[in-house]
Amino acid sequence: MAFGIKRGVRFQILSESDFDRIHWGTLHILEKVGVQVDSVACRKLLKDNGCEVDESKRIAKIPSHLVEEALSKKKTSITLAARDPKYDAKLDLDHSYMTANGNGAVAVDFETGERRPSTKKDVADSSRIIDYLQNVHIHWPMVSSTDKHPSVVHLHDLDASMSNTQKHIMYETGVTLSDAKHLTEIGYIAAGGEKEFRHRPIHSCLQCTYAPLQHDAGVMDASLYFAEHGVPLVFFGMPQPGATGPVTLVGSLVVGNAEVLSALVMTQLHAPGSAVIYGMGNAPLDMRTTIRAGGSPEHAISSAIATELAHYYGMPSCVGVSATAKVPGDQAVLEYYTGCVGPLLAGADLMCGVGLLEDSSCLFYEQIVIDNEIVGSIARLIRGEWADDDTMALDIIEKVGVGKNFLAQKHTMQHLRAGEHFMPDLIDRRSFDAWSASGSKSLVDKAREKTRWILENHRVPPLDADTQKRVDAVIEKAKKPMWGGETKRD
Amino acid sequence: MADGKEAILSELENSVKNLQEEAAMEAARKALSAGVSPIDAIEKGLAKGIRQVGEKFERKEMFVVELIYAAEIMSNAIKILEPELRKSKEKRNVLAHVVLGTVAGDIHDIGKNLVRIMLEASGFEVRDIGKDAPIDGFISAAKEMGAEIVGASSLMTTTVSVQKEVVDALRSGGIEAPLMVGGAAVTEAWAKEIGAVYSSDAGSAVSVAKSLVGKGG
Ligand code: B1M
């Protein structure tokens, strides 16, 4: 079976004239208001290429021709390669890929239920779960190795991920130039060399822009390095409608679009043809609690329209979902389902990500397994229907005739085997008696059982000893006193 | 006159409480021409209004945008009172002086801004030193304003350690003000480890700050 979710359904929310308007409006903002660029290197790049740059305010005004040029220079066919090529994710605008959520700092211990700072072991174990699950296609280090030295937490996160999944790994921790160098170096080692990595990038980096209309210095310095060194990038706008963007979803899309397109301009000026994915995560700030509402209908629809806009630009989209629920169960399911279904119906290429609660902060192992089921159900929803000889089944209808049934037809069996009907793993469709006789288990109970099974049984081939040694050496070399402070961690 | 003054004070209070910007400006001008002391205008008028908005926000009866808007109205009205305020010998009766920032290396500032607004709404004077704020910035601001509390926000596992830097620098700079910490990456245990006090959200930041300066909590 092909990897990823093949899409056949696509809802359309915005019209062609909406796209034109949004694009025009964004160009207008970039020329008139500009963006704040904190990176000296990026300001120089923009200035050298004809942007009006106000050094004292660090604002660059970007003429529209630079945006159009960047859009025409960017890499159009991006494959996020994997250690095992059967997991290669081809971003062909025809498949959707689900990713893990990433970088929480808290985990709930699977055995004791204790809510505690996350560790490298959590990164490793969750990576194995992601490796196993069929509906999660791309991995993110889900939590941080907070038991490691702060200066190299992100490298341990990558290390634990690499040795516990063969899927593509996307990280979002390349926030300074030196982070970028070390992460890239590890990628080259894991791929077997620079040439091999450039050819088959097994890692990629997601970078956030800073709403409204700003670019962090470290993030952009790192991004130029990644672009130049063949590490695919996602630029992820995150205006929060009503807080760091206009309350209207389209207004926030314009703000995020200006950020993503200006980041695209900088990378294409620096490294023409580098791979950039169009990211946007415009979840509103809940105005009563001030928590980011990642599983809200507004986030879902914002991600859907951002996807449409990305496709208008011929770029794959990367959009988000998260949940504010505190424990796995009904609220988490409702939030994850809402957050995933909207963008996936609109054709999201990368949908990130599963498994964290408390607004991408807290890992529950079993939530990964529950979300995997949600995605399975949505995959069926977006597969699409079509009428051909086989699906119309006129010959079978004729053969069976009036008043009988289709249960014993080969056509029925063949299609069931090919996935015509979604076969849930956790949803219990049995009778009450059968359900209660086997212990009246809830969805969460069943997810825990499956999680336990995966943890006990699923093994991932480790990196070979030499690769591992070289990765360890990079981590050791990268360790430095953090902000001059001593720390108890190793 | 006494009557007039009471009426003006309640106009100030109500205009903030009901989010009426024009009315607040108007009431501030009236206060000036009626000779109401600017300190009274703030404390017995505007601040009473914003406190009620803050309480309603805490009870989830008002949106955070409304709280922010009310704070804006209040600060614009204070601008009108400012010339008188400068002349006046009375001092604003603030609960305490607080220096607040997001630590170096970290640009997440939405939470920190909310903490500032809630502290201000509750009667604290806050010097906001912004995001990605250097350690020195905390120290010099604390010295300048004579801060009774220093607050450091941090959202990332990679930047929480800077909070320890801030405490260490405060102490070696001879500043005894307690450090208040918060933000998604911070835990109660971490706060204890570095000798700081933790609060989990903007509402509890206010009660923690109050208890730190012995003003209840
Ligand atoms: C002094 O006393 C006190 C007392 C209480 C205090 C206090 C101080 N400070 C806060 N509080 C408390 O009161 C507030 C009000 O109730 C609360 O404040 P909060 O700030 O917690 O809550 C806010 C009101 C709403 N919450 C937020 O605003 C944060 C939400 C999340 C999703 C988030 C956002 C929005 C952003 N981000 Co980023 N971001 C995440 C966040 C996930 C999360 N759950 O926190 C987090 C923190 N980010 C992360 C990352 C990795 C990053 N982000 C980045 C950028 C951004 C945006 C700019 C896009 C945006 C911030 C916009 C802004 N102006 O602040 C980058 C940072 C670059 C840098 N150098 O700092 C970047 C590195 C990504 C990249 N590669 O570019 C993760 C950190 C991972 C980790 N383990 O450390 C993260 C947990 C998300 C995730 N799971 O991946 C309380 O904590």
Residue B90: predicted pLDDT: 77
Q: Is the pLDDT of residue A483 over 80?
A: no
- Which residues lie below 8 Å from residue A451, measured CB to CB, with a gap of 6+? A110, A129, A365, A366, A368, A369
Q: Is the pLDDT of residue A487 over 50?
A: no
- Which residues lie below 8 Å from residue A205, measured CB to CB, with a gap of 6+? A170, A171, A172, A174, A180, A183, A222, A223, A226, A231, A232, A233, A234
- Which residues lie below 8 Å from residue A412, measured CB to CB, with a gap of 6+? A406
Task: Kindly report the nearest CA distance between residue B164 and chain A, in angstroms.
Answer: 8
What tens digit of pLDDT does each residue of A221-248 get?
A: 999 999 999 999 999 999 999 999 999 9
Is any ligand 1 atom within 6 A of the Cβ of residue B188?
no
What tens digit of pLDDT does each residue of B40-71 get?
A: 999 999 999 999 999 999 898 999 999 999 99
Compute how many other C-beta atoms are within 10 angstroms of the C-beta atom of residue A79: 17
Task: Name the residue with the closest Cα to ligand 1, atom 52.
Answer: A208
φ, ψ for residue A319, nearest 5 deg = -130, 170
- Which residues lie below 8 Å from residue A404, measured CB to CB, with a gap of 6+? none
What is the average pLDDT across A439-450? Answer: 98
Is any ligand 1 atom within 6 A of the Cβ of residue A112?
no
Q: Is A280 exposed, middle or buried (0-12, 13-18, 19+ CB in 10 A)?
A: buried
> Which residue, A81, A106, A103, is CA-closest to A91?
A81
Banded model confidence at residue A1, pLDDT cuts 50, 70, 90: low
What is the average pLDDT across A29-58? Answer: 98
Which of B104, B107, B165 lies nearest to residue A210, judging by beta carbons? B107
Q: Is the pLDDT of residue B2 over 60?
A: no
Q: Which residues pair with A61 in a beta bridge?
A: A52
- Which residues lie below 8 Å from residue B213, measured CB to CB, with a gap of 6+? B95, B96, B148, B149
Which of A175, A288, A483 lies nearest to residue B161, judging by beta carbons? A483
CA–CA distance, A216 with A207 (Å, rounded to integer):
10
Is any ligand 1 atom within 6 A of the Cβ of residue A207?
yes
**Under an 8 A CB cutoff, do B107 and A153 touch?**
no
Residues B150 and B126 sit within 8 Å (Cβ to Cβ): no
Task: Name the residue with the closest Cα to ligand 1, atom 7.
Answer: B182
Q: Is the peptide bond before A343 cis (omega within 30 degrees of 0)?
A: no
H/E segment holding residue A99: strand A95-100
Residue A489: predicted pLDDT: 54
ipTM field: 0.85
Residues B199 and B208 sit within 8 Å (Cβ to Cβ): yes
Cα of A215 to ligand 1 centre, how many Å?
15
Cα angle at A257 between A255 and A261, to 5 degrees?
Answer: 125
Q: Which residue among B106, B155, B208 is best mutated to probe the pocket of ligand 1, counting the most ligand atoms within 8 A of its Cβ? A: B155
Task: Name the residue with the closest Cα to ligand 1, atom 89.
Answer: A103
CA–CA distance, B214 with B207 (Å, rounded to integer):
10
What is the average pLDDT across A271-287? Answer: 97
By C-alpha distance, the chain A residue nearest B114 is A290
Which of B65, B104, B157 lies nearest to residue A144, judging by beta carbons? B157
In this prediction, what percent of chain B has a pLDDT beyond 90? 79
**Rounded CA Rg of chain B:** 18
Mean pLDDT over all residues of chain A? Answer: 95
What is the average pLDDT across A466-485? Answer: 85
Q: Is the peptide bond before A353 cis (omega within 30 degrees of 0)?
A: yes
Task: Kindly report the nearest CA distance between residue B65 and chain A, in angstroms.
Answer: 7
B105 contacts chain A (CB < 8 A): yes
Residue A486: predicted pLDDT: 43
Residues from chain B that touch A487, judged by Cβ atoms under 8 A, are: 161
Is any ligand 1 atom within 6 A of the Cβ of residue B104?
no
**Under an 8 A CB cutoff, do A154 and B184 touch?**
no
Is any ligand 1 atom within 6 A of the Cβ of residue B202?
yes
Compute how many other C-beta atoms are within 10 angstroms of the C-beta atom of residue B39: 17
CA A74 to chain centre: 20
Residue B89: predicted pLDDT: 76
- Of A153-157, A424-428, A484-488, B30-34, the range with the lowest mean pLDDT is A484-488
What is the average pLDDT across A328-347? Answer: 97
What is the average pLDDT across A33-38? Answer: 98
The torsion angle over the Cα atoms of residues A297, A299, A303 and A309, rounded to 10 degrees, is 100
In this prediction, what percent of chain A has a pLDDT beyond 70? 98
- Coil, strand, or helix at residue A318? strand
Is any ligand 1 atom within 6 A of the Cβ of residue A103?
yes
Q: Which residue among A38, A99, A103, A209 is best mutated to probe the pocket of ligand 1, counting the most ligand atoms within 8 A of its Cβ? A: A103
Tokens encoding A89: 């994710």
Residues of A in CB contact (< 8 Å) with B are: 105, 117, 144, 146, 150-151, 153-154, 173, 175, 210, 216, 218, 240, 242-244, 285, 287-290, 361, 482-485, 487
Cα of A99 to ligand 1 centre, how many Å?
20
Residue B88: predicted pLDDT: 81
CA–CA distance, A219 with A216 (Å, rounded to integer):
5
Is any ligand 1 atom within 6 A of the Cβ of residue B123?
no
Is any ligand 1 atom within 6 A of the Cβ of residue B157?
yes
> Which residue, B93, B96, B99, B110, is CA-closest to B180?
B99
Note which residues in 7-46 of chain B have CB less than 8 A from chain A: none
HSE, side-chain direction, 13 A CA sphere, residue A231? 27
DSSP string, A332-401: HHHHHHHHHHHHHHTT-SEEEEESEETTTTEE-HHHHHHHHHHHHHHHHHTS----SHHHH-HHHHHHH-
CA–CA distance, B181 with B189 (Å, rounded to integer):
11
Q: Is the pLDDT of residue A153 over 90?
A: yes
**Under an 8 A CB cutoff, do A240 and B63 touch?**
no
Tokens encoding A299: 């986030």
Residues A168 and A89 sit within 8 Å (Cβ to Cβ): yes
CA–CA distance, A127 with A161 (Å, rounded to integer):
6
Q: Is A327 exposed, middle or buried (0-12, 13-18, 19+ CB in 10 A)?
A: middle
Cα of A284 to ligand 1 centre, how many Å?
14
CA–CA distance, A316 with A91 (Å, rounded to integer):
6
- Which residues lie below 8 Å from residue A45, measured CB to CB, with a gap of 6+? A224, A266, A269, A270
Residues from chain A that touch B63, judged by Cβ atoms under 8 A, are: 287-288
CA–CA distance, B150 with B182 (Å, rounded to integer):
12
* Strand A95-100 with B179-182, pairing: unpaired
Residue B157: predicted pLDDT: 87
Residues A219 and A180 sit within 8 Å (Cβ to Cβ): no
**Under an 8 A CB cutoff, do A144 and B187 touch?**
no
Task: Name the residue with the closest Cα to ligand 1, atom 24.
Answer: B111
Residue B216: predicted pLDDT: 64
CA–CA distance, A453 with A297 (Å, rounded to integer):
34
What tens digit of pLDDT does each residue of A380-405 get?
A: 999 999 999 999 999 999 999 999 99
What is the average pLDDT across B83-99? Answer: 87
Residue A10: predicted pLDDT: 79
What tens digit of pLDDT does each residue of B160-192 get?
A: 989 999 999 999 999 999 999 999 889 898 999
> Which residue, A475, A422, A428, A476, is CA-closest to A450?
A428
